[in-house]
Amino acid sequence: MTQPEHQTATSVLVIGTGGAGLRAAVELAERGVDVLVVGKRPKSDAHTALAAGGINAALATMDPADTWQQHAADTIKESYLLANPDIVRIVAEQAPRGIADLERWGMPFARETDGRISQRFFGAHTYRRTSFAGDYTGLEIQRTR
């Protein structure tokens, strides 16, 4: 049996319901743009749901000496100098904003007893800068509304 055809109009079509696609859609929607997000898999089955470890951002909540510059340097070093330095700078510099946005939208980050977002060592970083939600950070990103 053939399904009836449906037509939908939108200003922007985002293909992909993982973290990047959803983040792009949120940014557009907050600016008043009509956006539609389409994915081929259920939302909880996007690759972002598999990202268990956490999100790196130099918040300095655990190690006050941490900076976005050190985050960028650690990333460049760990990439064996293959990462694009301009992209690394942008990502490291903007990472705290990404964490703040997720927090504002209700992301259940692990917290210290005083309420600060907890951060842990992950990978080859100089400081504790990985914000996390248990062992299900990617899945929690997907669930955050």
pTM: 0.82
Angle at Cα 140 formed by Cα 137 and Cα 145, nearest 5°? 140
Per-residue pLDDT of the chain (145 residues; tens, 9 = 90+): 788 898 999 999 999 888 889 889 999 999 999 999 998 877 667 778 778 889 999 999 999 999 999 999 999 999 999 999 999 999 999 999 999 999 999 999 999 999 999 999 988 899 999 999 998 898 898 888 7
Residue where the block lists tokens 């130099």: 58
Q: Where are the domains of the chain?
A: 1-50, 53-134
Q: H helices within 6-144, ranges in order? A: 19-30, 68-78, 85-104, 137-143
User: Tokens 């007893």 identify what position?
Assistant: 113
